[in-house]
Each structure stands twice: as structure tokens, then as C-alpha cells.
Amino acid sequence: MPRLATVIDSDHLPLLRQAVALAASARAAGNHPFGALLADASGQVLLTAENTVVTDRDVTGHAETNLVRLASARYGAVELADLVLVASTEPCPMCAGAIFWAGIGTVVYALSEEGLYGITGDEPGDDALLLPCREVFARGRRPVTVHGPYDLPEAVEVHAGFWS
């Protein structure tokens, strides 16, 4: 399990909180509680996305894949390399692949996938795909910088009671 960062970068904290607010919005809309945003190096939010798995009836409707679709339509590979994807929870392997293929250069997240499994009560088994995003990115031929997981209480709280 990746070590939790002891101090959240002051540039990342408001973005992480906004990603968690997007997760809360997704939950309020009847979807799974995940949110993501795309920001530039100065911290300006360029795009946001929520999980839409339930409402769109699309298992690929994760917040990060929804964001990658929007970002790829708006920005070129050179621009995406300088942008930061901020997620309420660690990107799953599918999302990490989409982030990599889009060319996004940096990922920041709060709750780890192991932390999420601890909340959901799921034990790794036939329906689990435990593969940290760092491992997915490490297999690529270009670097993706990863910051996280961060110990952000609201990133855990947004899941409270949802998975029971």
C-alpha cells in the first residue's frame, strides 16, 4: 500500500476538496460517489466530471474516463501533458489506462483503492481488480507523475453508507 502523504500540497488541497464535492454531487444524482477534475499548473480548473455509471447505464462512466473524453476533445496531447487530473479516489486500472493514453502528465488523488475496498467491505476476489494506478503508469513508455493517496477525511466520508 502506498504510504499516505503526511502533508497535502497546498496547491492540491482545494482541488482535492472540489473533486470530493463532485463525488458528492454524483452520489446525490444516484451514481457512485466519484469525482474528477482537470486543472492547469496554476490550479485553474478547466473541466470537471462525475461518475455516471448508474444514470448512463455505462460501466465505463467513471468520473476519470468521463473527464478524459471531455479533455481529449478539447485539448491536444502537448497541452494534456502539462495538465493535472485530480480525483477523489485513486483511478482504477481502466481509468489509469485512459489517462495514460490521453497523455495527461500528472494525477493527484485522495482515497487509495485499498482504502476504498476497506470502506466497501469487498475482499479482493473474482470481481476485484486491485492494480494501483502507479503500476499501470509504470508499464508505459512515458512518465505520469502521481501524488497520493492523501489522508483527506471528506474523501472517506462521501462513501459513508453508500456501499452497504
The Cα 93–Cα 28 span in angstroms is 25
Q: Dihedrals φ, ψ of 110, to 5°?
A: -95, -80
Say how far apart CA 28 and CA 53 lie, in whole Å: 13
Cβ-proximal residues to 45 (8 Å cutoff; 6+ apart), any chain: 15, 18, 37, 38, 39
Catalytic residue among 64, 79, 113, 114: 64
Q: Which of 38, 151, 150, 158 is nearest to 98 (CA)?
A: 38
64 part of the active site: yes
Q: What residues are labeled active site?
A: 64
